[in-house]
Amino acid sequence: MTVTFEVSDGAERPTWVDDGGGLAWHVKAVIGYWRHPDLGRYRFVPGHRAEAQRWHLTVVGPLPGRPSLIGEQEVVLRTFGEGMSWYMDLG
């Protein structure tokens, strides 16, 4: 999952989400955001993955199970370490 960010009014926010397999979603709205309180010194504990960031979004693009149809849906993007891969869950 690739997430494209844009800086607007001094704040960074996601604008596009691409699954790397030909499907992409445009971010229509940011519903919520959470960041690990110690992200600057974030470290992995062997055998344990903790969430680093979470974005709750409204996106427009292919619908789950029917990628030929375009629609709006809520999703949650998560990453488990700074600079690591993003994972998308349906809202």
**Of 48 and 91, the one with more pLDDT:** 91
The pLDDT of residue 44: 54
- Tens of pLDDT, residue by residue over 12-21, are 999 999 998 9
The pLDDT of residue 40: 57
Distance in angstroms (rounded) separating the CA atoms of residues 25 and 35: 22
Residue type, 91: G
Its pTM stands at 0.83
Q: How many residues does the chain have?
A: 91
- Tens of pLDDT, residue by residue over 38-82, are 765 555 555 556 788 899 999 999 998 899 999 999 999 998 765
Distance in angstroms (rounded) separating the CA atoms of residues 18 and 2: 5
